[in-house]
Structure 1
Amino acid sequence: MGTIIYADVQIGDFFQTGHYVLIREHCQFGDHVWIGSHSVIDGQVGIGNFVKIAARCYISPQTIIGSRVFIGPGVIITNDKYPLKMRDSYRPAGATLEDNVSVGAGSVILPGVQIGQGAFIAAGSVVTRDVPPMTLAKGNPAVFHELPAKLREKNTALSWKQYLE
């Protein structure tokens, strides 16, 4: 029922996981990172401080996740546009989620996509291209909208408040 952590993983303070979590080699985690049950962090992933990754998420290799990021349940972040094809001319690349990004449940983020600071990805969205900072992306494929004022504040979980003040 425990978490399996491969070798060469760096973990900051106040790290917590649910059960059946798999963390592959060469990952780096900042402080105050929480990973939900049945999630896979599939190696060579960088994660900042104050990050919550909900249950049943898949984070592919070469993904970079900033600080104060929320990733909802069942999110899939991919890294390979052409699985096992064109290896002479193409290399897989993970997505980049900048600081204060929120990703809603069941969303899929395609390889190499950059999600700008403060962006909000609505639940069930499929993100096929870069998302500008402070933008709402929703739909399949995701269409960009102005971020509503109520979603412009920084991500702050109640359990983080004492550490952020």
Structure 2
Amino acid sequence: MQEGLFEAGEDCRIQTGCIVGLKYRDDCRPAVLGKGARIRAGTIIYADVVIGDDFQTGHHVMIREKTAIGHHVVVGTNTVIDGQVSIGDFVKIESNCYIPTNVTVGSRIFLGPNVTLTNDRYPLKMRDQYRPEGPVLEDGVTLGAGVIVCPGVRIGEGSFVAAGAVVTKDVPPRTMVKGVPGRFSPLPEKLRELNIALSWMKYLKA
């Protein structure tokens, strides 16, 4: 591991080839890792990042500054979290996802591989009016593989977005979204319970 500016809780394991607490300005604060973190080779975590307990990464993850991540979160290989992002507890983000600035991710959320969230309505146009506006994912949301979510979209609690869909407008709670552009339908009863991974169960029942 290359030296960085960070504080780590008990039983953290950081593989070789990582940078934790990358200093990007003179007055930045240390990155903070909670207990039991597992940081795999090639990962870069900037300073001014705060992460809760039981955090895990795949390889070559990048997490930029001013990001706050809760407890029991997994971030898959080659995923980029581009800073100024808030992520709740019990979240699983698969490999090759992109999360830009100004995104809010709630708790008990699943992002499948190759999910792309966006925050710029008119890339490289109207720069004098540029205001990055990332999506908001409310608690219990599932995004299937390859989903794209457009800037400023709010996806309501417990909604399920099928693989490959493009979400262009706000989604009401407990809604199924399919297709390009995404079309809404009532969420099937069998998908209405909040997301739960086997590794989360002992904590959620405590």
Q: TM-score range by the shorter chain?
A: over 0.9
- Sequence identity (%): 62
1:45-124 matches, cutoff 5 A: 45-124=85-164
Runs of 4+ in 1 over 4 A off after TM superposition: none
1:1-165 matches, cutoff 5 A: 1-165=41-205
TM-score norm. by structure 2 comes to 0.79
Gaps of 5+ in 1: none
Q: Give the secondary structure class of the aligned counterpart of 1:161.
A: helix
Aligned CA-pair RMSD = 0.8
* 1:68-101 CA distance string (max 9 Å, x none): 0000000000000111322333412000000000
TM-score norm. by structure 1 comes to 0.98
Q: How many residues are paired up?
A: 165
Partners of 2:136 and 2:127 in 1: CA distance:
22
Gaps of 5+ in 2: 1-40
Q: Report the alpha carbon displacement of residue 2 of structure 1 after superposing the two structures with TM.
A: 2.5
Which one has a bigger Cα radius of gyration? 2
Partners of 1:83 and 1:7 in 2: CA distance:
28
